[in-house]
Structure 1
Amino acid sequence: MNIPMKFLCLVILWITLGCHSQSSAFRRGENRPNIVFILADDLGYGDLGCYGQHIIKTPHLDRLASEGMRFTQFYTGATVCAPSRSALLTGQHTGHTYIRGNKEMQPEGQEPLADSVQTFAQLLQKAGYVTGAFGKWGLGMVGTAGDPNRKGFDEFFGYNCQRQSHRYYPTHLWHNANRIVLEGNDLTQKIHYAPAIIQEKTLAFIEQHRNKPFFLFMPIVLPHAELQGPEDEYYRLYDGAFEETPHKGNGYGPGATVGGYASVDKPRATYAAMVSRLDGYVGEVLRKLDELGLAENTIVMFGSDNGPHTEGGADPQFFRSAGGLRGVKRDLYEGGIRTPFLVRWPGKVAAGSISEHAGAFWDVMPTLVEIAGAPLPRYTDGLSFLPTLLGQNTQQRHRYLYWEFHEGGGKQAVRMGKWKGVRLQVKENPHTPLELYDLSNDMAERHNVADQHPDIVAQLQQAMDEAHQESTVFPLFSGTNKDKH
């Protein structure tokens, strides 16, 4: 039977379009969803109920997992605040991204992102999204090149300086270029609780922009040290009757607190209460989306900037905050960089799904610009994980994932398939021996098998050399004679 060539071409075209209709629609910018990205501060892999937490109750984040996808091998951008945020927003790992460490500026602020640095928020702006950031910035003071208003955000409210965010009752916050003084807050008085104020502005942003596509970035400061909260949770949570006592405001209710641990001492109790408050704020956002009829067309992502901290009396060992992984904040072992990652997108992401896809913060940029139909980034180390979200079998895989850390003598890490390499004290000696772990049967990184696999060690060393580009602002090997391996 002779089939006309024109008809055959149409059939092939129809099949091709059918297989890729969803991704193509996103690239054309059709049916663009609202985007909410919630970033916790110093929350560990095991701090949520959906990741195995048994002491602290997190019903709203557990709901996010049950209605969406829970990633089990998703990594943060770095093991401390500023470089992790830089990796997220620029789509570049710490061997390339502009901010690679916490570098303080006086009298207020941190090293700013340069004029040349492009964020995905800028690309979403160009695609017609209204953009807002509410929480902790830490990537450039007001008036500098790293000012959030110059890096893609129409509105910013919160702590510009991450050093100021160590206080939950600060003297001031920032609303764009305006310094908002919190009258009465000082070293002795605690009147205005900053996270609650920021949460009010966050919900108002959703309300105000309900009729247009928006990108809401929520870098919440909880549960970062200092360990502190309003008296309603600081005392009431652990009076022996907290499960029957709803919180005053803030969207809490029965079961949203820590169950069965009335005898916990205050540092532990306060940390647990801060995680519960974080969970409550997420619940308020989900409820607001429901009330406004926006939930079906909103993609919600949740992650943490790095692993759990130990400052201020925090006890990650007691809560198993790292979920059985080795290390905490400032480590490049799994506990310092593998964090919770949840995505809910009704009708697109299968409810209750679990993904073992190995991704990282620098993948968020290509994923969101594809979903939004935004301009492509000039450069990214990331790969879009949209196929994973949509349940398609076309997901590209990273050849490796790379991190570096500029404190504690300098550290590097790389993951390639099941293999994880870690190198310590590289500033003193860039050729320090590489530790090797097989994550497929040693997720806790207890057994260094470098001596047994010299060929794998050589591959990971080559990947480290390839991934690292020296920075004049954050030099890793300054003053050392680093030859290629």
Structure 2
Amino acid sequence: MKEIIVIVVLIGASFVRCMSHQQQSARKPPNIVFILADDLGYGDLGCYGQHKIHTPYIDRLATEGMRFTQFYAGTAVCAPSRSALLTGQHTGHTYVRGNKEIQPEGQEPLADSVQTFAQLLQSVGYATGAFGKWGLGMVGTSGDPIRKGFDEFFGYNCQRQSHRYYPTHLWHNAEKVVLEGNDLSQKKHYAPAIIQEKALAFIEDNKDNPFFLFIPTVLPHAELQGPEDEHYKRYEHAFGETPYKGNGYGSDATVGGYASVSKPRATFAAMVSRLDAYVGEVLDQLDKLGLSDNTIIIFASDNGPHREGGADPQFFNSSGGLRGVKRDLYEGGIRTPFIVRWPGKVAAGSISDHLGAFWDIMPTLVEITAAPQPRYTDGLSFVPTLLGRSGQRQHPYLYWEFHEDGGRQAVRMGRWKGVRLQAKKSADAPIELYDLSTDVIERYDIADKHPDVVTLLRQAMDEAHQENSIFPFYYQGSEVY
């Protein structure tokens, strides 16, 4: 009889502890993990139609969450896309609109006046950490990640430095972490692996607090490089290979130059699979610590696939059949793989064609976490879409600009897509028009058939763009900026 009583008491205590844990989880704000790939194409993942590269863990996110088919990056290149993400503003308004280099290291910093959603999360008690590539302001400047809402940063502050996978140094907050044994002739410390360890440690260190973990990984950004590990061996003999030789990007071989690659396709595929494995490690860490059910995971890429260093997006169909690559404002340059997993909230295996973009992340996370409303945003919360509710607000249009190669602008307005090239040379440069409902690959310019639509797109471009003295775009009078 005593034994029965003891068993009943133990079962009851276990039940109480379980209920208490569930109640605590229900009260605790959700953790947020945002994984941002670098130069990963819309078609580089299995769940988006990739057949040559193995991505089981990211595919698992799609199986267990919502996969978006019409979500867009901030723009078609690194720094301004990240600025649009963090500030909740499209590139006609956001502070950083191009990859403007600062010597000897770093990029144009976000100003003191710029507010990020990390700061808003920080204000309601979230522990915040960023691990990977920053590119929005060197240590000690107004754009230092520690001044923009992150309690901890580890990785490449300068995106120019991130061209190398075996760099001479990384940054931990204000500390320069020298990687002895890394130079042009030695490859001792593989930076993504070091950064990954720090990201996993952040989860462990903050398991008892609500946290926002930002992982702007450098994978699979050029240069093509990595250890000859199990990921590389998977593809080593899978593709016909032509060795890539040469620098190909920038004159500084220690920073901007790309080394020779004996098997560029195998190397690129390995980099994507290695990224996928790192996502798997994050999932395992959350599972191990009992955090998965109360953690939102968001996965995206900063822009379309690159062609530097021997990368071959055509071979892999990295743009997923869409026109364009990195630096293009056609769909292949800006449409991003976008996946959200939130157990018990977002329906597993769901697919959404909701039209959204990076500047929507800020209001969405603010609504989820009850953080203060931002001072400004171009975004709209897509929480109704995530939760399968009615009442989702829609953008009248989405807008992008790109400041290199003569300047480019693009507008998505429902089924219509307008693209303007050489926009810096003339505010009257022609606008190409595509009907994405019938021509998603943007093959047929039908501007001459719909002048009324072209007028609407031109008006949207004029409305969306606000001049920025640091990143000037339009001309004034006869002077071209």
Specify the alignment match of 2:17 in structure 1. none
Q: Deviations over 1:76-114 (max 9, x none)?
A: 001000000000000000000000000000000000000
Where 2:229 maps in the other structure, the secondary structure is: helix
Shift, 1:477, TM fit: 1.3
Match of 2:121 among 100, 107, 124: 124
Specify the alignment match of 2:180 in structure 1. 183
Match of 1:228 among 225, 228, 235: 225
Match of 1:141, as an amino acid? Answer: M
Q: In 2, Cα distance between the equivalents of 1:232 and 1:82?
A: 30
Shift, 1:187, TM fit: 1.0
Shift, 1:263, TM fit: 4.5
Q: In 2, Cα distance between the equivalents of 1:234 and 1:56?
A: 10
TM-score by length of 2: 0.89
Match of 1:34, as an amino acid? Answer: N
Q: Deviations over 1:48-71 (max 9, x none)?
A: 000000000100000000000000
Match of 1:472, as an amino acid? Answer: S
Q: 1:432 to 1:370 in 2, by over 3 A?
A: same
Shift, 1:315, TM fit: 0.4
Q: In 2, Cα distance between the equivalents of 1:330 and 1:74?
A: 17
Asked if 1 retains the 8 angstrom alpha-carbon contact of 2:87 and 2:115, the reply is yes
Q: In 1, Cα distance between the equivalents of 2:282 and 2:366?
A: 23
Q: In 1, Cα distance between the equivalents of 2:235 and 2:460?
A: 49
Shift, 1:239, TM fit: 5.0
Counterparts of 1:27-176 in structure 2, within 5 Å, are: 31-176=28-173
Q: Is 1:342 aligned with 2:331?
A: no
Shift, 1:231, TM fit: 2.2
Where 1:276 maps in the other structure, the secondary structure is: helix
Match of 1:180, as an amino acid? Answer: V
Q: Deviations over 1:13-63 (max 9, x none)?
A: xxxxxxxxxxxxxxxx95410000000000000000000000001000000
Where 1:445 maps in the other structure, the secondary structure is: coil
Match of 1:437 among 411, 434, 438: 434
Q: In 1, Cα distance between the equivalents of 2:309 and 2:135?
A: 20
Match of 2:395, as an amino acid? Answer: H
Shift, 1:273, TM fit: 0.4
Counterparts of 1:202-351 in structure 2, within 5 Å, are: 202-233=199-230, 236-239=233-236, 261=238, 263-264=240-241, 266-351=263-348
Specify the alignment match of 1:254 in structure 2. none
Where 1:231 maps in the other structure, the secondary structure is: coil
Match of 1:467 among 460, 464, 468: 464
- Unpaired runs of 5+ in structure 2? 1-25, 243-262
Match of 1:149, as an amino acid? Answer: I
Q: 1:374 to 1:235 in 2, by over 3 A?
A: closer
Q: 1:331 to 1:239 in 2, by over 3 A?
A: closer
Q: In 2, Cα distance between the equivalents of 1:472 and 1:323?
A: 36
Moved over 6 A (4+): none
Match of 2:222, as an amino acid? Answer: A
Asked if 1 retains the 8 angstrom alpha-carbon contact of 2:232 and 2:266, the reply is no
Match of 1:98, as an amino acid? Answer: Y
Q: In 2, Cα distance between the equivalents of 1:85 and 1:37?
A: 12
Asked if 1 retains the 8 angstrom alpha-carbon contact of 2:83 and 2:136, the reply is yes
Asked if 1 retains the 8 angstrom alpha-carbon contact of 2:64 and 2:347, the reply is yes
Asked if 2 retains the 8 angstrom alpha-carbon contact of 1:430 and 1:480, the reply is no
Q: 1:228 to 1:440 in 2, by over 3 A?
A: same
Q: In 2, Cα distance between the equivalents of 1:324 and 1:239?
A: 25
Q: In 2, Cα distance between the equivalents of 1:154 and 1:295?
A: 22
How large is the Cα RMSD of the aligned pairs? 1.4
Q: Deviations over 1:354-404 (max 9, x none)?
A: 000000000000000111110000000000000000000110000000000
Where 1:99 maps in the other structure, the secondary structure is: coil
- Unpaired runs of 5+ in structure 1? 1-28, 241-260
Q: Is 1:360 aligned with 2:357?
A: yes
Match of 1:225, as an amino acid? Answer: A
Asked if 2 retains the 8 angstrom alpha-carbon contact of 1:141 and 1:147, the reply is yes
Specify the alignment match of 1:409 in structure 2. 406
Match of 1:324, as an amino acid? Answer: G
Shift, 1:234, TM fit: 7.3
Specify the alignment match of 1:5 in structure 2. none
How many pairs were matched up? 435
Q: Deviations over 1:282-301 (max 9, x none)?
A: 00001111111100000000
Q: Is 1:396 aligned with 2:393?
A: yes
Q: 1:322 to 1:268 in 2, by over 3 A?
A: same
Q: In 1, Cα distance between the equivalents of 2:292 and 2:217?
A: 21
Asked if 1 retains the 8 angstrom alpha-carbon contact of 2:42 and 2:332, the reply is yes
Specify the alignment match of 2:5 in structure 1. none
Q: In 2, Cα distance between the equivalents of 1:238 and 1:439?
A: 35
Q: In 2, Cα distance between the equivalents of 1:359 and 1:155?
A: 29
Specify the alignment match of 1:14 in structure 2. none
Q: 1:268 to 1:368 in 2, by over 3 A?
A: same
Match of 2:455 among 453, 458, 461: 458
In percent, how many aligned pairs have the same letter? 77
Q: In 1, Cα distance between the equivalents of 2:231 and 2:225?
A: 8
Q: 1:65 to 1:238 in 2, by over 3 A?
A: closer
Q: 1:156 to 1:296 in 2, by over 3 A?
A: same
Shift, 1:410, TM fit: 0.3
Match of 1:161, as an amino acid? Answer: C
Q: In 2, Cα distance between the equivalents of 1:30 and 1:94?
A: 37
Match of 2:399, as an amino acid? Answer: Y
Asked if 2 retains the 8 angstrom alpha-carbon contact of 1:30 and 1:373, the reply is no
Q: In 1, Cα distance between the equivalents of 2:230 and 2:316?
A: 18
